Amino acid sequence: MLAGPPSSTLYRKVVCVDLDDDSPPTDAAAALRLIQHQRSATARRLDPDARLLYWPWGVAWLVGFGLFFLRFSPGDRALVPLPSWLPLTVLFVLLASAGAIQAVVSVRAYGQVTGESAQRGRWYGYAWALGSVSVYAGLGRISEHLPHDLAALLWSATAVGLTGALHMAGGAVWLDQDLFRLGVWISVINVIGAIAGPGWHPLVVAVAGGGGILVAGALARRRQRQRQQP
Amino acid sequence: MTELDPVIHAQARLRVVASLSALNVGDKIAFPRLQELLAMTAGNLSVHLRKLEDAGYVEISKTHRGRTPATLVGLSRRGRLAFEEYTESIRALLDPAQSKEQP
């Protein structure tokens, strides 16, 4: 198997390689096993568990928007008499935690890998940051002139809409169908919530949006496991 | 019998190339991280990387991250092709009938 190819240039290369230092795999089956094992081991180490990337956001939406629905319920009522500052505070704390978890998990997995993937990730991150700032700057000016329930709907529908669009864009960047489908789902339920109106929107986002993220995370994890199978 | 690329047809270098092939095209990995993934000593990995670099299969670049120098390693286009051809030959050896269907 180790005989040099007939071409003389390639033959010379064979001579340069010191064959004693590194023995060939015992047979073809061993070579294939080695390839598959090494590739899947590397992929497992470089690909963070999809659940850690999805589920914290799903929990944040489920709990955060859920509390919002219970406190600022349809028809200007409060289904549960919570302090008015609580829902938004919990939502922001949970969203910040999800962001922190994502950052830590990503750095641990991709931190030592540079190149095109890192560039995509960086630009995608900028899109989130700058996109959010530019959208909310306008909203801040408008919402102060709106009654509380409409202002809340405007904020959450815009935030959820932006999230849906950016998930679809992320799916396009990485050709990741789980991410793209989640973006479509979030966009659709956002429309439904907006039509349902103030008070109902957070319920739709909590149950269908948060639940959708949890399901997407489970699906992404399943696909990941299939891919990493040696 | 199919000729197998002698640069890759060696256990340690095959592991190096197989690991690097799991990176996305156009990506490079820091030397210490690769060393950790492969559980090789730095000296051992350096020797194999030099051979792979001599064959034009890996690209090694030195850069700075802040003040610390960093060595980045990635598979070249040629290296990825050689690895794919090698894998294909191995599959062909194992199952000549199916090798055409499984790229």
Asked if B55 and A13 come within 8 Å (Cβ–Cβ), the reply is yes
Which of B2, B4, B46, B48 is the best mutation test for A, with the most CBs of A within 10 A? B4
Asked if B3 and A21 come within 8 Å (Cβ–Cβ), the reply is no
Q: What is the pLDDT along chain A (230 residues), one digit of tens a residue?
A: 444 444 444 444 444 444 446 788 888 899 999 999 999 999 888 888 999 999 999 999 999 999 999 999 998 889 999 999 999 999 999 999 999 999 999 888 888 888 888 899 999 999 999 999 999 998 989 988 999 889 999 999 999 999 999 999 999 999 999 999 999 999 999 999 999 999 999 999 999 999 999 999 999 999 988 887 76
Q: What is the dihedral of CA B30, B34, B35, B38, to 10 degrees?
A: 180
Exposure string for A177-194, b = 16+ CB within 10 A, e = fewer: ebbbbbbebbbebbeebb
Asked if B48 and A22 come within 8 Å (Cβ–Cβ), the reply is yes
Q: What are phi and psi of B26, to 5 degrees?
A: 90, 0
Name the residue with higher pLDDT: A78 or B102: A78
CA angle B99, B101, B103 (to 5 degrees): 75
- What percent of chain B has pLDDT above 90? 67
Tokens of A150: 């409409």
Q: How far is CA A56 from CA A63, A87, A161, A190, in A?
A: 11, 17, 19, 20
Provide ipTM, 2 decimals. 0.86
Helix A86-110, helix A116-143: angle, nearest 10 = 170
* Contacts B51 to A, Cβ<8 Å: 17
Every domain of chain B and the residues it spans: 11-93
Q: For residue A27, what is the DSSP state? A: S
Residue B100: band (very low, low, confident or very high) from pLDDT cuts 50, 70, 90: low
CATH architecture of B11-93: Orthogonal Bundle (1.10)
Nearest CA in chain B to A11: B6
